[in-house]
Amino acid sequence: MSFAFLASLLLTQYAPPPPTSNLSPRPNFNRTCAEWGLQSHACLVDTVRALDNARRKEGIGPIYLPRNWTNLTPADQIFVITNLERIARSEHPLPGLTASLNRVAKRGAARGTDPILRSPAGPALSIWAEGVGPLASDYGWMYDDGWNGPLRRTPNLACTSATATGCWGHRDNILAEWSRRLLAGRPGTWYLIAGAAQVPTITRTVLPIDRSITEDSDAMIVTAVEQPPHYVYTWAQAVAEGAGSAAKGWNPAAVPRPLEEAGTWIRTHARDVLVGVIVVGLLALTATRQGRRPRPKKVYRLSRFRRRRSRP
């Protein structure tokens, strides 16, 4: 997994302080997603579980996705998980995505770099990652964005040393304090807009499981404009589907592990299970017919009954 970082307006301390060190994902969702597939339920569950474990170390509650999460586009998913990270740390959510910024984000994702907005009216922040989906990218941006020892073991391409300014840049951009810092002192009314996109990048074979997977290139950009924008997807829509709500939202990792693994196995081997059930049923039916013996016939005797006259 690789990350890049760009802030068109480089400011210090425009976001809450980052963790003191990187956190390795527990469980390792990269292996799970490679083994079961990027669109598998097991991949989703282990990625959410890793995020929840990392959030627990920050004293933050679990993630609650909107109920229609699996029906959202990757761009919408990137937007939703970004806002879930923001509201968990008392930051205002981004209002919505616009079609124009989605196109900018798509160009960045296709090039494998941070989206670049030419001549923005206000501050512009962007991020990019290559990995196994929006939730995995979010984990890297939020918890694996600092210096990790040797340069080859540091996913953040802008974090070239322990003191480099690019370290934790993705996390800073996600949690940027727009109203209090980035837009503070600017005259007029400003509206936040965001854009996100995902494009498939490379297909590689993962050993030792010998499975080919296609990694995704995820990108997002946020800026501010002075004219009221038209949003193509809003945070209000995500909230209506339960995003961020323990009562209405969905946390795939909340399912007990044994039940989840059993369900995953059944879904993966549904065809084999169905064929096996049919074969066993046919064998049982054949054995029953072959072992059936004719029942002995009952012999009935004809009895003579005398009629008795009843006395008056």
Residue 229: inside a domain: yes
| 141 and 245 belong to one structural domain | yes
Tell me the C-alpha to C-alpha distance, in Å, between residue 217 and each of 123, 196, 200, 201: 24, 11, 6, 6
pLDDT at 134 over 70: yes
Q: Supply the pLDDT for residue 292.
A: 58
In a domain, 264, yes or no: yes
206, 34 in Cβ contact below 8 A? yes
Same-domain check for residues 222 and 270: no
Q: What is the pLDDT of residue 207?
A: 44
Are 167 and 262 in a shared domain? no
Specify whether 171 is located in the same domain as 278: no
300 vs 148: CA distance, rounded Å:
93
Q: Are residues 26 and 57 in the same domain?
A: yes
The token pair at 284 is 């049982």
- Reported residue count of the chain is 312
Among 95-104, 126-135, 199-208, 236-245, the minimum mean pLDDT is found in 199-208
Q: Which domain holds residue 277?
A: 257-292
Same domain for 285 and 220? no
**Bigger pLDDT: 295 or 153?**
153
Kindly state whether residue 298 falls inside one of the protein's structural domains.
no
Distance, in Å, from the CA atom of 30 to the CA atom of 223, rounded to the nearest integer, reads: 31
Q: Residues 123, 32: one domain?
A: yes
My answer on whether 143 and 273 are in the same domain is: no
Q: Worst-scoring range by mean pLDDT, 106-115, 206-215, 244-253?
A: 206-215
**How many domains does the chain fold into?**
2
- For residues 198 and 77, state if they share a domain: yes
Q: Yes or no: say if 125 and 224 are a contact pair by the CB < 8 Å rule.
A: no
Mean of the per-residue pLDDT values of the chain: 83
- Which residues, 6+ apart, have CB-to-CB distance to 294 below 8 Å? none
pLDDT of the residue at 278: 82
Q: What is the DSSP string of 67-122?
A: TTGGGS-HHHHHHHHHHHHHHHTTPPPP-EE-HHHHHHHHHHHHHTS----SS-SS
Percent of residues, the chain, with pLDDT higher than 90: 54
264 touches 41 (CB < 8 A): yes
pLDDT at 282: 79
Residue 304 lies in a domain: no
pLDDT digits (tens, 9 = 90+) for 97-131: 999 999 999 999 999 999 999 989 999 999 999 88
Residues 116, 6: Cα–Cα separation, whole Å: 8
Say whether both 209 and 65 belong to one domain.
yes
What whole-number distance in Å separates Cα of residue 107 and Cα of residue 200?
13
Q: How far is CA 134 from CA 73, 131, 140, in A?
A: 10, 8, 10
265, 174: one domain: no
271-284 confidence digits (pLDDT tens): 666 777 787 877 87
Domain assignment present for residue 305? The answer is no
Whether 306 is in a domain gets the answer no
Same domain for 273 and 198: no
Is pLDDT of 197 > 50?
Answer: yes
